[in-house]
Structures are given as structure tokens and as C-alpha cells.
Structure 1
Amino acid sequence: MKLLSAEKQLFRAAQSAPYLEREEERQLALRWKNSQDSAARDKIAHAHMRLVIAMASKFRGFGLPLSDLIQEGYIGLLEAAARFEPEREVRFSTYAGWWIRASMQDYILRNWSIVRGGTSSSQKALFFNLRRLRAKLAQGDKRLTDQAIHQEIAVALGVSLSDVQVMDARLSANDTSLQAPVSNDDQKTERLDMLASDDILPDELVTQVIDGERWHDWLQSALHELNERECRIIRLRRLSEDGATLEELGAEFGISKERVRQIETRAMEKLKAALLAKTPERIEA
């Protein structure tokens, strides 16, 4: 694969960057930590671009552009430089490796497939190690079945057998567009056309409309059995979107909220009796 000129320049710049001695690295880290000297932080990061490129090359098998992997790795490198604590006496390359790898892995999980994979630590381990372990087991004993290989991988990574089987299926298959034709012979019918609709069936929709209108008529008729105050309380308490409080209605009618509750209870009993008189089998059900 031919590298673009920008990538070539990046590689050359990384290769020409001087290595940092332990003490120089420590002093640069202290300048950043104590004085927020961004030049010191950038110098540490620039000196370790070789590490980013080397790690990005290991992830090229996932089919993503190398330049994008390097860019994501550089973000992780800067994060590591910002968090590095020189007093721990650990070389920066050792500390930065985790951040670079994590940044690249997150990018791969976000972009490798339109179907988002799991992001837990066990799912990440499964995603990035399944192919390697599968190839190793198959090479060691060619008589192993897929089931046996999946079982070995599940034990090795501490995940369930079903997780291994699902991930293996995802890694083995390509994403398919919903706009793709169902067959070569039928270019007009797309996969999207074959998906089951969540909408209710036409006959069910008609039934709902008819029943809704019937219930509305029954309710309006039953409301005529209430006096003016009972009707207003029921409409505001039970039939409005927000639902008035007992306190609000008590203030409107100049009565206590307990009295409002009593009127509401009596009105509901009258409504039920009126509706039962029209449709006893439906109300009781």
C-alpha cells in the first residue's frame, strides 16, 4: 500500500524525533505538571510518535485507515502526557502504551461496523483477541470443531460461550445495507421492504377507532348524570392532560381538599353506575 505524502511526512518526522533520556523526560514532565508548559508536553509526545505508529500497525487488520489509527493514537498519547506523574519513576513509554492502545481500540469499536459492539472490558478483550485465539487453537489441533474452539476461547477470556459465538458471527460477516436488493433478479425490492412493520394491522386500527368513538360517546352521556360541580372536578382531575390537584380545586370552589376528594369519589361511583347500565359486560371485564 502506497503511503500518501502527508503520511510519509508523519513517518519521517516520527523517525527523526530524538529519543529522550530518563532525566530529560522527567524534567519535561515536571515542567508540564508544575507550570503547564505545553511545549514540554508536546516535546514528550513528539518523541514517542514511533510508539503510536508501531501500535497502529498492529491494528491494521481491522481494515481502517492507518492515518486514522495514528491520529487516534496521538490523542491517547497527548492524554497520557497530560496525566503522566514523573514522581512514580516509570518511563513514559510504559505509561503511554495503555492510553494509546485504549484510544485506538475505542476508535475501532466505534467505526469497524455500523453495528456497535460491546464496550465492556470483557467484550473488548473478546473483540480484539478472538481471531488470534481461534487461529492458534485451529493450528494446534485441526480436528477441533467450532464448538470446541468457542468453548476454549470462552474459558481463556472469562466470557460466556454465547458471547463468543455471537462475536465470531459478527466478525465473520459483513454489514449489509437495508437498501441492498433482495436478489439479483429483483432489483426493485430492497431488504428494508422485507422487514416486519411495528404498525398495527389495518383491521386493528379500524377497531380501535370505532371503539374509541363508542367509548367517547358513552363517557359524554355518563357525564350528564353529574351535577355541574362534579362534572368540572372529574374533567379537571381525570380527563385533563395535566390533572388539577385537590388543593387547586379546593381553592376554586372555596372548600377543603378533603371535600373535593369526597365529591370526586361520589362522582366516580355515579359515572361507573351510568356506564354499567349501558355496557355491563365491557365495564366489568
Structure 2
Amino acid sequence: MINKVQILSVTSLGNLEAYIRIANLWPMLSIEEEKLLTQRLRYNSDLDAAKTLILSHLRFVIHISRNYSGYGLLQADLIQEGNIGLMKAVRRFNPEIGVRLVSFAVHWIKSEIHEYVLRNWRIVKVATTKSQRKLFFNLRKSKNRLGWFNQEEIEIVARELGVSTADVKEMEARMSAQDVTFNPFPDEDLKDGKYNNSNMLYLQDKKSDFANGFEQDNWDEHATHKLNNALLSLDKRSRDIIQSRWLNNSKKNTLQVLANNYGISAERVRQLEKNAMKKLKIAIEN
């Protein structure tokens, strides 16, 4: 339904004020009108009813999105995310539960906005667990002054939100910190003919060793070359036995399969394999 129903778009109008003005022009629905429309949608999959339900509730999305203006994100983006939550709510709403659609939709609208804020507020995620998400959206509301919490305030916030004091301290530190680039901006790379100090320059990659990697690649190439030359020194049958038994990655044949192919016993194949291995070892070591 979300992809099929066409609703107002902030970007299509190109002006947030125009969008809000048009959204507020749509009349609010009475209880009887809302119930009739939700029944048509639920039982008849009426997309026109869905469109009317969505358009008549856009004003509520705008109102809710204003509560998240302090996170430094565009109001238009917050509204668009809230609209997605509204559409999800309309699709899932059951008109027989006896509540208004807006009461049901508030959870879905806030949920989509919350996810958007968490994804875009910082480059580095600040909230991943359930308790951290709760703290993220409630910590600033709990502050009645600037500055860090004292121990008493930490304990009050932890008790009111049902989290540990350690979670409160950690989230306060995360929200107070700022993202720091590892690399300077392009126009700051050079200063007085020298590169500025960059955090990136002090990072050490202990897992990477170019010299060892080059040496290993060289050795593998050398070993492969010697093995190929050693195989060429064997007769055709012995070479086929070694390749079938040890160098075939897709399917390694058993002694009995090879015995059937050559019309000899499995024990004879084992002897040929053993002798071929000895010859290979001598050829590779020389």
C-alpha cells in the first residue's frame, strides 16, 4: 500500500511552509467517517479510503515531528519519515479495536522518526541497545540545567527510566562527545608547505605486513612451479593417480575407483601412489 498510495511530498512541493499549509487544509475526520474508511480499507482493500485516512492525519505527523527539531536534522526529513510510520499504521489498523486511528498511529510515527534520528544524528551510532535508545530520547528532557549530571541526578534519571547508573553515565558521555575526522579536510591538508597533524597518521595496522605477504606470494608461486615440474617427471598413470587423489578440489577419487578405471587392485593403486609420492618429494627437494 505504501508504494501505491500517492500522498503529499515535501520535496515535490519544494517548500516546507507550503506543505504544512496544504496538509492543514485537509479536514479532520469524525469518528463515524474514520470508522467507515478504515473498514473499507481493511475489508475491501480500498486505496482511496487509505489515501483519505493518510491525508487527514498529516497534520499530526507535522506536530509530532516538531518535538525532534533539537537534533539538528531537517524538519522536512523528519516529516517524511513520520509519514512512512503513518502509512504503516494505516495499513495495520483494526477498526474493531475501539480506538481512534491517531492513538494507534502515534507509536508508528515516533518509531520511524526515532530510527531516522538514530541513523543520522551522528556518523558513529550512539544507541544500539534498548536501554540506550530509551536514554537517548529522554536524557536531555531530564536535564534542568547545563553541564554534567551530579551523582544524585544520575540516580534519579536511572530510577525514572529503569536503567542502570552506568548506562546513564555512558550515554551522557556519548551525547556530549563530537564526531572527529581521522583525516583533515582537503583545504586544510597543507599549511606552510607541511601536512597538518591527522589522527589517521597515527593509526597502526598490526594485521597487515606487506613484506610477509609479498614473500608468501613469491614462495607459493615457486612451490607451484616446482610441483608442476615434478608431476611432469611421472608417467601418465602415476600422474593421474596423484592428481585424482590429491589435486582434484571438486572430487577426490578413492583407491577403489581408480582400481576399477585401470583394471588393477586397490592395493596396486596404493603402491603406485606411494612410489609417485617418493618421486615427487625427491624432485621438489632437488
Q: For the aligned residues, what is the CA RMSD?
A: 4.4
Are 1:71 and 2:80 an aligned pair? yes
| CA shift for structure 1 position 106 | 1.3
Instruction: Kindly provide the CA deviation profile for residues 191-243 of structure 1, in whole angstroms up to 9, marking residues without a partner as x.
Output: 44443346633442354245435644665576578654343233344335x33
Structure 1: how far apart are the matches of 2:271 and 2:197? 58
Secondary structure at the counterpart of residue 15 of structure 2: helix
Q: What letter matches 2:158 in structure 1?
A: I
Q: Secondary structure at the match of 2:151?
A: coil
Match of 2:251 among 244, 255, 258: 244
Q: In terms of mean alpha carbon deviation, does 181-190 or 94-103 score higher?
A: 181-190
**1:196 corresponds to which of 192, 204, 208:** 204
Do residues 46 (structure 1) and 55 (structure 2) align? Answer: yes
- Whether the 8 Å contact between 2:26 and 2:56 is mirrored in structure 1 is yes
Corresponding residue for 1:84? 93
Q: Please state whether the residue corresponding to 2:124 is helix, strand or coil.
A: coil
Q: Distance in 1 between matches of 2:63 and 2:189?
A: 43
Query: Which residue of the partner structure matches residue 171 of structure 1?
Result: 175
- The whole-number CA distance in structure 1 between the counterparts of 2:179 and 2:271 is 59
Number of the residue aligned with 1:235 = 243
Change (3 A) 1:251 1:166: farther
Cα distance change, pair 170–237 in 1 and its aligned pair in 2 (3 A): farther
Structure 1 244/104 Cα, relative in aligned 2: closer, same or farther at 3 Å? same
Change (3 A) 1:9 1:235: same
SS in 2 for 1:246: coil
Mapped partners of 1:116, 1:84: distance in 2 = 32
CA distance in 2, matches of 1:153, 1:77: 32
**TM superposition score normalised by structure 2:** 0.71
In the alignment, which of 137, 158, 175 is matched to residue 153 of structure 1?
158
Question: Per the alignment, in what secondary structure is the counterpart of residue 177 of structure 1?
Answer: coil
Distance (Å, rounded) in 1 between the aligned partners of 2:136 and 2:271: 60
Structure 2: gaps (5+ residues): 1-12
Aligned-pair CA distance for 1:183: 8.6
- State the alpha-carbon separation in 2 of the partners of residues 272 and 113 from structure 1: 63
Deviation, structure 1 residue 17: 2.8
* Corresponding residue SS for 1:110: helix
Contact kept in structure 1, 2:182 and 2:200, CA below 8 Å: yes
Instruction: Please say which of residues 54-63 and 29-38 is displaced more in the overlay.
Output: 29-38
Are residues 203 and 14 of structure 1, via their aligned partners in 2, closer, same or farther at CA, if it must alter by over 3 Å? Answer: closer
Which residue does the alignment assign to 1:127?
136
1:32 maps to what in 2? Answer: 41
Instruction: Check conservation: 2:182, 2:199, Cα contact below 8 A.
Output: yes
After superposition, the Cα gap between the structure-2 partners of 1:46 and 1:205, relative to the gap in structure 1 and judged at 3 Å, is closer
Q: Highest relative contact order (Cα 8 Å, sep 6+), 1 or 2?
A: 2
CA distance in 2, matches of 1:253, 1:117: 66
Q: Which amino acid counterpart does residue 70 of structure 2 have in structure 1?
A: G
Secondary structure of 1:90 counterpart: coil
Deviations 1:149-194 (A, max 9, x none): 3896399444693x65554443222323343169985545654444
Contact 2:122 2:179 in 1 (8 A): yes
Point out the more displaced range, 16-25 or 191-200.
191-200
Q: Which amino acid aligns with 1:25?
A: E
Question: TM-score if structure 1 supplies the norm length?
Answer: 0.71
The letter for the 1-side match of 2:32 is E
1:201-216 to 2 correspondence within 5 Å? 201-209=209-217, 211-212=219-220, 215-216=223-224
Asked whether the equivalents of residues 18 and 47 of structure 1 are also in contact (C-alpha less than 8 Å), the reply is yes
> Which residue is 1:23 aligned to?
32
Distance in structure 2 (CA, Å) of the matches to 1:233 and 1:11: 79
Is 1:12 paired with 2:21? yes
Is the aligned partner of 1:93 residue 2:97? no
